[in-house]
Structure 1
Amino acid sequence: METIFNFFEANQEIIYMVILMIFLGIEVIGRVPSVLHTPLMSGANAIHGVVIIGALIVMGEADPTNYVALILGFLAVLLGTLNVVGGFVVTDRMLEMFKKKRS
């Protein structure tokens, strides 16, 4: 229990910053009109390629016996890839709606 308190004490500023970022993100996303939500989210999902690259770097630099880092890196690569693919699928479906139908 003492190690948990020491962790929070050592990282108090970072924890506060993460909490503030969560509230800020909720406020920003909550104020986006519904019409703009899909195009913005599909573009934001495509940016998650940076997450994939970062996770690959973490996995490559991690000690082979550090299973926590390897598992978290693998999950980050997997979820980041799903997010990128989902962003492109949403964008493709959105662009299909604007194409003229051939008779």
Structure 2
Amino acid sequence: MANQAMNTALEQLDNAVNAVVSAAAQAPEAASAVTGGAIDPFVFRLAIFVLSIFVGYYVVWSVTPALHTPLMAVTNAISSVIVVGALLAVGIPSSGLATGFGFVALVLVSVNIFGGFLVTSRMLAMYKKKER
């Protein structure tokens, strides 16, 4: 029962994220077209990035402690997708800039994944019964 509710909630969250990502991908060009080019798409994307930092901060800090472990698992899954992209950026022969950014992304996401596993294991250890 709880697994089915959690799966349904995760599916709804995934659908919402997909809708937001597709809308955000089209928003800068649409804003530029509507305003006749008065808004630079870079500035629009930067504003979205800054707002997403604030939203992410408030979303993460309002999560109840019981949901931290599933949240960390989802974060690790997202980071594994980033690893694939970083490996492609490093492995495919292209400009040195792309390879450099890919390497930096690979290092940072590796730290994120291993740190996430450490935090998750510590949190799961909190739920284990103490041995006497």
**Residues 10, 93 of structure 1: alpha-carbon distance in 2 compared, 3 angstrom cutoff:** closer
Instruction: Report the Cα distance in structure 2 between the residues aligned to 1:31 and 1:96, rounded to whole angstroms.
Output: 22
Gaps of 5+ in 2: 1-38
**Residues 49, 27 of structure 1: alpha-carbon distance in 2 compared, 3 angstrom cutoff:** same
1:39 equivalent in alignment to 2:69: yes
**Does the 8 Å CA contact 2:72/2:116 hold for their aligned counterparts?**
yes
**Superposed CA RMSD:** 2.5
| Residue identity in the other structure for 1:29 | V
**Residues 28, 53 of structure 1: alpha-carbon distance in 2 compared, 3 angstrom cutoff:** same
Instruction: Report the Cα distance in structure 2 between the residues aligned to 1:71 and 1:36, rounded to whole angstroms.
Output: 39
Q: 2:86 aligns with which of 18, 43, 55?
A: 55
SS of residue in 2 equivalent to 1:100:
coil
Partner residue in 2 for 1:26: 57
1:96 equivalent in alignment to 2:125: yes
Identity %: 31
Gaps of 5+ in 1: 1-7
SS of residue in 2 equivalent to 1:11:
helix
| Residue identity in the other structure for 2:101 | L
Ranked by relative contact order (alpha carbons within 8 Å, sequence separation 6 or more), the top structure is 1
- Aligned-pair CA distance for 1:40: 4.9
Figure out how many residues of one structure are paired with residues of the other and give that number.
Answer: 93
TM-score (norm 2): 0.56
